[in-house]
Structure 1
Amino acid sequence: MSRGSFVFTPMALRSLELDEDMLERHKYKKKLASSHLNNYMLKKEARAPLRSNTALPPAVCQDVVIQNALYTGDQEALQRLFPRGSTANLIIEPQGGDMRWVATGEGLWSLNYEQELTTPLHITAGRGFTDCMRLLLQRGANVDLAPGGTTALHESCENCQPECTKLLLIHGANANAVSEDGVMPLHICTSPESLECAKYLLQYGAAINGRTVDENDTPLHVAAKNGLPDHTELYLRYGAAVDKQNDEGLTPLNAACSQTQVVQDLERYFKVCQMLLGKGAVVHTVDQDQRSPLHMACKNVNPDIVDLLLANGACVNDMDYGGEAPLHDILKVVCYKVSHHPERIVRALLNHGSIRVWPGALPMVMRHCSESPRTIEVLLNAYSHLKVTDTWVESVSPEVFKEHKEFYESVFSLALTPRSLQHLARCRLRSFLGGRVHKVVPKLDLPTFIKNYLLLEYRGYVH
């Protein structure tokens, strides 16, 4: 071995070989990109109507100075780079693109190029550089050019840039352009900040019931999935179909109920469901797994939506393909959603005549739901007799028992004491009324505290 040299390990040599292969693939991809661009332009020319003065096809630009001016929104630089008489109808091909480390197997990592064709309009539209966009449009930039698979209008809507969206539409951008992912600009309006973009799209002819290619979602599905009440109200005002089903069998109502919701999102999703039901959405529509909106609202623990669905005729004992009723769905997730007040849902379901848990499974329910004593209280008060054993005691962890000692002592004391006569009378009346408890009890000529007792109000103990 000569001085100053060193030995490459087999792994290092293999890594170098992979990097060399990667560079070769990158060169090949650049050729493919160029071929793709040529094919794209041929197709565009074939689709374009004949005009007396056909515009020149866009040129490919790799100029870093132009790219820097676009990405920084430097209008003065763009005015110098695109003087009057020049064209801004360009396709930007970034020099090399971004690079990232990716695993290649056998414990090796290699640098890989990320490169996507774009246009000056895409860059400025996504960043809200309206003045730069206006200059580019004056210099002949094509509003519907989509070399990377999306138009500049998709880009402005995705990044919630209403002024850019409006400007593109004024200059003839297609409000119903479909990206290579099969979505229209209206489907990309997925956040509250995108409302103004959605308004402009509809004003310029966006299809209110346009479908995505992959899932067959309408814009109303998208608004419902993302808990967007303002978008929902807007789409309903424009005549959105309230009960269209997508490929999974979900209507917008099902879609809203099926989304995982944190505490701060509960009210937004409730408002969406309220609007949909106000426009006649059907509460009984089920998805491919026979899961109704009530199943989904219970699984995601939104008490207000559950109350709303029940008030609109949802059935508490409908079974999905797995043979589970809504009560099963809520009990499975109580331990994860204590802050959502799952006890409200359990109470509402039982007051509407829900089937109860098999008594032999109550220790298991105690184990999973012990962190929500109110849920346990409501559930246990639906039974006239309970057989409390040592298994019940073992189901509650010492930490939870210590935190809710008074309540669990009242539960475990039932091993030696029968239920009170008052409770037995409550159970008898509830059994007689069945699923009419929630309707009949409020109408009885009884003191309020007795009505609440019959409706399983929480007391912090059982007796």
Structure 2
Amino acid sequence: MSRGSFVFTPMALRSLEHDKDMLERDKYKKEIASRHLCSYVLKRTALDRAPLRSSIALPPVVCQDVVIQNALYIGDLKAMQHLFPRGSTANLIIEPQGGDMRWVNEGEGLWSLTYEQELTTPLHITAGRGFADCLKLLLQRGANVDLAPGGSTALHESCDNCQAECTKLLLIHGANANAVSEDGLMPLHFCTSPESLECAKYLIQYGAAINGRSLDEVDTPLHVAAKNGLPDHVELYLRYGAAVDRQNDEGLTPLNAACSQPQEVQDLERYFKVCQMLLEAGAVVHTMDQDRRTPLHLSCKNVNPDIVDLLLAKGACVNKMDYGGEAPLHNILKVVCYKVSHHPERIVRALLNHGSIRVWPGALPVVLKHCSVSPPTIEVLLNTYSQLKVTDTWVESVSAEVFQEHKGFYESIFSLALTPRSLQHLVRSTLRSFLEGRVHKVVPKLDLPTFIKNYLLLEFRGYIH
């Protein structure tokens, strides 16, 4: 062995062989991509193409060229005119580089961590990003408008991203308005935000099924609009004949679906408008889902006072029990501590004025513990009892922090351990017991001063007497 020479170990030789294989494989991929690029850019007979898609469907080719991908993703129309000259085809399948890592089973118990590739097309990329001019060019170059290598069409993509102009272009060029994605959804099911309204209008104009069902949940577009609190969509669908009381696989009608959704304070008005429209269109307030929950159960759980008032005005039953044996009042009391900003006391008051069953007196300390952060809720609830047996357990149920924050209110409750309820309250209790579930109807008609009517209807005063 000469001086300065190096002996390769077997392991080093295997590593070099592996590197060589990887380089050859990469070189082969580049050659294939180059051939594909030449086939759709340089080698096609220049035919006069109609503005709409060609009747001759060319088979798509896989494109991994990063130059083309970059032009598509940034919407570079000038570059695309160069890359897709007249006579070329834009009927491509794009395999983006990178993606999310996932474990892949390679057989015999072997797994490897590899990048998950999601196939797409130039139409998907441009339609989803709102590059209408680029999309139009691709359609003129014969791109297959209904190609769905990743499980959904470009039309699904444009609707999902609220790109109305691109949606219209695709429909003009023959996109199927009722195409079903691999998840069983039609384009109308992708219209889930206020900004997607124009897309929904175009879809209906081009024949989208107004009562088309999703594959898994059997939702109609009206279910989707109701779940997402979209009053403009609901109005549109109802105008075109959407079935107002059709149930999905969970037994939810659009009204039930709207009431079942968790709602932030800023969402309450939107969902109220949706329910109002559905009820005006004839939605039934008594329809139960598979757990025997009515819209009233669901709206109490999600604490929307305006919807509760609306349902009660339409004749919703306050004492209907679900499969768990719970009435609407139980649903609201369980979530008071999480939804104080939604004014849960309004719902408790409305239910009790409509004749709701009350909490068993022995369970009041438990309710006090979970609802003490909302004194108005506790006030309304306690004012439906003629007598209260206040014990040390009641005092222990209110945390020191809450007590200090609402000291005057809770002192008025705890003082009842030594003092009976006032005569004024006893008269109110007697009258309410006599009227039972008619309090909300009879009291407003009585020839009494307004402040007395409000007192009988459990107006909030900030103390218990």
- Normalised by the size of structure 1, how large is the TM-score? 0.87
> Which runs of 5 or more residues in structure 2 are unaligned?
1-5, 9-21, 30-53, 106-110
Corresponding position of 2:270: 268
Aligned 8 A contact 1:144 1:152 in 2: yes
Corresponding position of 1:438: 440
**Identical columns (%):** 84
Corresponding position of 2:379: 377
TM-superposition CA deviations, 1:73-101 (whole Å, max 9, x none): 0100000001111111111123x432437
Corresponding position of 2:419: 417
Number of positions where the alignment pairs a residue of Structure 1 with one of Structure 2: 416
**SS of structure 2 residue aligned to 1:435:** helix
Corresponding position of 2:394: 392
In 1, Cα distance between equivalents of 2:223 and 2:276? 15
In 2, Cα distance between equivalents of 1:166 and 1:229? 22
Aligned match for 2:161, one of 130, 137, 159: 159
Corresponding position of 1:184: 186
In 2, Cα distance between equivalents of 1:177 and 1:274? 31
Q: CA RMSD in A?
A: 2.3
Kindly report which structure 2 residues correspond to 1:41-120, keeping only aligned pairs within 5 A, or say none.
54-94=56-96, 96-100=97-101, 111-120=113-122
Aligned 8 A contact 1:99 1:111 in 2: no
Compare 56-65 and 292-301 and name the one that shifted more: 56-65
Corresponding position of 1:229: 231
Aligned match for 2:296, one of 283, 294, 297: 294
**SS of structure 2 residue aligned to 1:112:** strand
In 2, Cα distance between equivalents of 1:212 and 1:181? 8
Letter in 2 for 1:420: S
Aligned 8 A contact 2:57 2:144 in 1: no
**SS of structure 2 residue aligned to 1:212:** coil
**SS of structure 2 residue aligned to 1:460:** coil
Corresponding position of 1:210: 212
Letter in 2 for 1:100: M
TM-superposition CA deviations, 1:31-58 (whole Å, max 9, x none): xxxxxxxxxxxxxxxxxxxxx9733211
In 2, Cα distance between equivalents of 1:275 and 1:310? 16
Compare 346-355 and 140-149 and name the one that shifted more: 140-149
Kindly report which structure 2 residues correspond to 1:9-48, keeping only aligned pairs within 5 A, or say none.
none
Aligned 8 A contact 2:102 2:116 in 1: no
Aligned match for 2:306, one of 304, 307, 311: 304
Aligned 8 A contact 2:76 2:134 in 1: yes
**SS of structure 1 residue aligned to 2:93:** strand
Structure 1 residue 110: Cα displacement: 7.1
TM-superposition CA deviations, 1:86-141 (whole Å, max 9, x none): 111111123x432437799xxxx974312011110000000000000010011001
**SS of structure 2 residue aligned to 1:294:** helix
In 2, Cα distance between equivalents of 1:447 and 1:222? 47
In 2, Cα distance between equivalents of 1:401 and 1:147? 61
In 2, Cα distance between equivalents of 1:53 and 1:372? 67
Tell me whether 1:323 sits opposite 2:325 in the alignment.
Answer: yes
Kindly report which structure 2 residues correspond to 1:167-178, keeping only aligned pairs within 5 A, or say none.
167-178=169-180
- Normalised by the size of structure 2, how large is the TM-score? 0.86
Corresponding position of 1:40: none
Higher Cα Rg: structure 1 or 2? 2
Corresponding position of 1:17: none
In 1, Cα distance between equivalents of 2:372 and 2:309? 24
**SS of structure 2 residue aligned to 1:113:** strand
Letter in 2 for 1:155: E
Structure 1 residue 215: Cα displacement: 0.3
Corresponding position of 1:243: 245
